[in-house]
């Protein structure tokens, strides 16, 4: 029987099998950041053991950093302490750190790929659930807890139960104004927030193959939002083209060997998946969430389900009560207070280009505060070089320094209580963007159109003549 | 890690489904650099209003309910991988969470901190939530060795699954790092043969 892409990569990293079916999985790259690493470093010290291999760890500060005045000392004392602690720990253990102000600093899932650290066939972990992003390159990448961060530091391995496999096929062609964010929000709305639990997902089909690497990252990024352990896409020419020439990409003879190996990473024709779903790209509209988990999404022209249409009306009502919406209503024309463009889901250069292309020569609505937080220093520099910063600034967007920012509201970038934020991030949980904040998840284009119109609208009605694709 | 063998306790019913780790502990309380003290912020925005006053309609603020077992709606612990969620539950005093479904990362984090996730059928969960809500003094017994959940009051005796390795760890208070360090020669041997591109 043939093997799935997941099995090929996973099997290549098995050190041993142990009691109870757990496996010892070798980890190629370990990304760390300031929030989920300090207790792991403490553990290593207490045990009196060192790191297994410091060269397999890369650190950056992203979750907790301010996005304004990044050159100044961090004002919030606890945040500063946490970021300083990362610097201190990386110094003590001699780990490569892209700290605040470094030209490579940024959201961990943005910098890994852009530096060429992320490559097909790798196992990649990080104390962050959106590590699944790196699966876009055909890597087995997943989020772990801090105890596991410590495990990997100590042994370069994880003791894990092999997940089941799932394939989600999207065939066909996306309509105009519809992006990969809409694909993944559509999938999650169909499978629910727990539909992928226990599984590792492979995304396939013609609609997936036609996507750029950045668009693929958006899809894999949100795999965790349906409960999946991770998501991946078979590497192809698009993948190789993206990696080529990046800082940590192989070159010369090594490049040829690497591409030869990477080209073997696909699911064999007779490979069997534990679960399989097929969707049509033509059925996907621009998506928006109306509730308090990422599974509560719908096409932007649809209506919120009625209590008769759901299994648990009490859960729906609790969610809608928080959001200030009613069952059965449409969200079109709902006034919006904030637009946030950023996060490891949608803060890459393509995302900024899509937004800038739409808002060029326009102004954001007066009732909207719009902020753009690039995913990394490199994205920020590229946006400046292309003149996107000027376009966005003139349209009334506030441009910030890189970091996780209002996606999780750990720093001061919080959405005030009961205010509506249309966001390109990944989670709309209660209080995610600040206590009482109400989040509506959308694609960067939809966010840009809503920022200009000041209310929820169908972006397809306002597309420019020559929209950037 | 603290050993876990048997637990006999009353329970606190949390009927919400899809409880995510942002609710268990909001991101703004993740700034600490130690594992202690997170219990204070457990379910912060459900427990307290913006002035820091306890919300009377939240179950943890209802003095009738107490115990070291949380009985929670389906799909508990989804979302962020933050282990702080498990730390907060343990720090607050929970030793076990019962639900009909757990998110993967949370489940792993719980097991690594001596917090036992007990997965039961949807029917059992419904019965448990009902009986505990009705009578807060209902005692639940969790026997890890036998992998049994017993509620004598309503005649429930349900087997639950747990990975045998993880079970040994919990019964003895070992953790994964102790085990992996004992296997480190195998890791080095693997790495010598391993080709990375």
Residue of B nearest to A120 (CA): B197
DSSP state of A222: G
Position A465 confidence tier, pLDDT thresholds 50, 70, 90: low
**If DSSP codes are grouped into helix, strand and coil, which group holds residue A365?**
coil
Quote the CA–CA distance of B89 and A169 in Å, as a whole number: 38
Q: Do B45 and A410 touch (CB under 8 A)?
A: no
Contact across the interface for A36 and B83, Cβ inside 8 Å: yes
* Average of per-residue pLDDT across A11-16: 98
Strand order in the sheet with A29-32: A96-98, A57-60, A29-32, A123-126, A140-143
Quote the tokens at residue A29. 């790259």
CB contact under 8 A, A16 and B105: no
- Shortest distance between the Cα of A146 and any Cα of chain B, in A, equals 6
Please indicate whether, in this complex, the C-beta atoms of A146 and B83 are within 8 angstroms of each other: yes
Name chain A contacts of B31, Cβ cutoff 8 Å.
35, 64, 76, 78-79, 81-82, 410
Is the pLDDT confidence value at B175 over 80?
Answer: yes
C-alpha to C-alpha distance for B22 and A424, rounded to whole angstroms? 18
Residue B196 banded pLDDT, cuts 50, 70, 90: confident
Set of chain B residues whose Cβ sits within 8 Å of the Cβ of A36: 81-83
pLDDT tens digits along B94-109: 999 999 999 999 999 9
Residues from chain A contacting residue B82 (CB–CB below 8 Å): 35-36, 145
Residue A33 touches partner B, C-beta closer than 8 Å: no
Which letter, b or e, does each residue of A362-401 get, where b requires 16 or more Cβ atoms within 10 Å of its Cβ?
bebbeebbbbbbbbbbbbbebbeeeebbebbeebbbebbb
- Cα A387-A388-A392 angle, rounded to 5 deg: 125
Only one residue has tokens 């009902």, namely B130
Residue A109 forms contact with B (CB below 8 Å): no
The answer to whether residue B2 scores a pLDDT higher than 90 is no
Between strands B6-9 and B140-143, the pairing is antiparallel
**pLDDT for A9:** 98
Q: Evaluate if residue A399 carries a pLDDT over 50.
A: yes
Q: Which of A137, A371, A148 is nearest to A232 (CA)?
A: A137
Confidence class for position A131, pLDDT limits 50, 70, 90? very high
Q: What average pLDDT does the structure give for chain A?
A: 97
Question: What is the interface pTM, i.e. ipTM, of the complex?
Answer: 0.95
Report the gap between the CA of B33 and the closest CA in chain A (Å): 5
pLDDT digits (tens, 9 = 90+) for A267-302: 999 999 999 999 999 999 999 999 999 999 999 999
Q: Residue A21 above 90 pLDDT? A: no
Average pLDDT of span A193-206: 97
- How many CB atoms neighbour CB B63 within 10 A? 7
Q: Is the pLDDT of residue A466 over 80?
A: no
CB B103 within 8 A of CB B73: no
pLDDT of res. A461:
96
- Which of A148, A315, A432 comes nearest B17 by C-beta? A315
Residues A376/A106, Cβ–Cβ less than 8 Å: yes
Q: Grade residue A303 by pLDDT with cuts at 50, 70 and 90.
A: very high
Per residue in A139-181, pLDDT (tens digit) is: 999 999 999 999 999 999 999 999 999 999 999 999 999 999 9
Q: d(Cα B197, Cα A248) in Å, to the nearest integer?
A: 11
pLDDT of A412 strictly over 50 = yes
Provide the 10 A C-beta neighbour count for residue B13: 22
- Contact yes or no for A388/A356 (Cβ under 8 A): yes
Question: For residues A432 and A440, is the Cβ–Cβ distance under 8 A?
Answer: no
The residue-averaged pLDDT of A251-270 equals: 97
Tokens read off for A227? 């409960």
pLDDT at A64: 94
Residue in the structure block whose two tokens are 């940590």: A248
DSSP code of A405?
A: G
Q: What is the pLDDT of residue A1?
A: 86
Averaged pLDDT, A5-17? 98
Report the alpha-carbon distance of residue A351 to residue A233 in Å, rounded. Answer: 20
The pLDDT of residue A469: 43
**A243 vs B contacts (CB less than 8 Å):** none
Residues of A within 8 A of B103 (CB-CB) are 194, 197, 227
Taking the C-alpha atoms of residue B30 and residue A38, their distance in angstroms, rounded to an integer, is: 11
Q: Is residue A256 predicted with pLDDT exceeding 50?
A: yes
């Amino acid at each position: 029987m043939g093997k799935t892409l997941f099995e090929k990569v996973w099997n290549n990293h098995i050190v041993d099998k142990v009691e109870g079916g757990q496996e010892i999985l070798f980890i190629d790259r370990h990304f760390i950041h300031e929030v989920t690493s300090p207790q792991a470093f403490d553990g290593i010290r207490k045990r009196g053991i060192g790191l297994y291999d410091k060269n397999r760890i890369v650190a950056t500060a992203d979750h907790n950093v301010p996005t304004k005045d990044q050159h100044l000392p961090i004002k919030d004392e606890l945040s500063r302490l946490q970021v300083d602690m990362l610097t201190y720990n990386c110094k003590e253990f001699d780990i490569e750190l892209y700290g605040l102000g470094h030209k490579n600093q940024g959201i961990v899932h943005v910098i890994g790929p852009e530096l060429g650290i992320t490559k097909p066939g790798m196992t990649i972990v990080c104390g962050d659930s959106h590590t699944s992003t790196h699966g876009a390159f055909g890597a087995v990448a997943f989020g772990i807890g801090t105890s596991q961060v410590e495990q990997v530091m100590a042994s370069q391995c994880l003791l894990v139960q092999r997940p089941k496999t799932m394939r989600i096929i999207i065939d066909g062609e996306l309509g105009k104004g519809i992006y990969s964010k809409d694909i993944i929000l559509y999938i999650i709305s169909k499978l629910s927030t727990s539909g992928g639990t226990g599984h590792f997902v492979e995304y396939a089909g013609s609609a997936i193959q036609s996507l750029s690497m950045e668009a693929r990252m958006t899809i894999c990024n949100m795999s965790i939002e349906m409960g999946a352990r991770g998501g991946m896409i078979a590497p192809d020419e698009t993948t190789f083209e993206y990696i080529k020439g990046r800082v940590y990409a192989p070159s010369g003879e090594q490049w040829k060997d690497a591409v030869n190996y990477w080209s073997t990473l696909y699911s064999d024709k007779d490979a069997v998946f534990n679960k399989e779903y097929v969707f049509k790209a033509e059925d996907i509209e621009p998506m928006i969430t109306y509730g308090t988990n990422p599974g509560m999404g719908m096409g932007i022209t649809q209506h919120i389900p009625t209590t008769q249409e759901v299994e648990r009306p009490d859960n729906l009502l609790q969610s809608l009560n928080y959001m200030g919406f009613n069952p059965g209503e449409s969200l079109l024309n709902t006034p919006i207070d904030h637009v946030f463009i950023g996060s490891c889901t949608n803060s890459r250069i393509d995302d900024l280009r899509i937004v800038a292309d739409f808002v060029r020569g326009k102004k954001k609505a007066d009732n909207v505060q719009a902020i753009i937080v690039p995913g990394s220093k490199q994205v920020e520099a590229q946006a400046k070089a292309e003149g996107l910063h000027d376009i966005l600034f003139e349209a009334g967007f506030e441009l910030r320094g890189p970091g996780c920012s209002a996606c999780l509201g750990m720093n001061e970038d919080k959405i005030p209580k009961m205010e509506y934020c249309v966001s390109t991030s990944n989670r709309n949980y209660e209080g995610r963007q600040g206590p009482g904040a109400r989040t509506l998840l959308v694609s960067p284009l939809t966010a840009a159109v809503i920022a200009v119109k000041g209310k929820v609208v169908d972006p397809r009605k306002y597309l420019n003549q020559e929209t950037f694709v | 890690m603290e050993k876990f063998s048997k637990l006999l306790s009353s329970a606190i019913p949390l009927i919400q489904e899809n409880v995510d780790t942002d609710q268990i502990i909001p991101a703004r309380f993740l700034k600490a650099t130690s594992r202690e003290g997170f219990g204070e912020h457990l379910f912060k925005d459900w427990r307290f209003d913006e002035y820091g006053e306890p919300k009377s309609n939240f179950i943890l603020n209802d003095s009738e309910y107490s115990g070291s077992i949380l009985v929670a709606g389906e799909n508990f612990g989804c979302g962020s991988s933050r282990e702080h969620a498990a730390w907060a539950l343990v720090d607050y005093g929970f030793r076990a969470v019962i639900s009909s479904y757990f998110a993967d990362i949370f489940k792993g984090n719980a097991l690594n901190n001596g917090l036992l996730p007990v997965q039961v059928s949807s029917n059992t969960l419904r019965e448990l939530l009902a009986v505990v809500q009705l009578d807060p003094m209902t005692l639940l017994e969790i026997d890890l060795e036998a992998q049994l959940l017993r509620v004598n009051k309503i005649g429930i005796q349900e087997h639950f699954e747990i990975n045998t390795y993880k079970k040994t760890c919990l019964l003895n208070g070992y953790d994964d790092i102790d085990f992996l360090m004992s296997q480190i020669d195998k890791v080095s041997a693997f790495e010598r043969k391993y080709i990375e591109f």
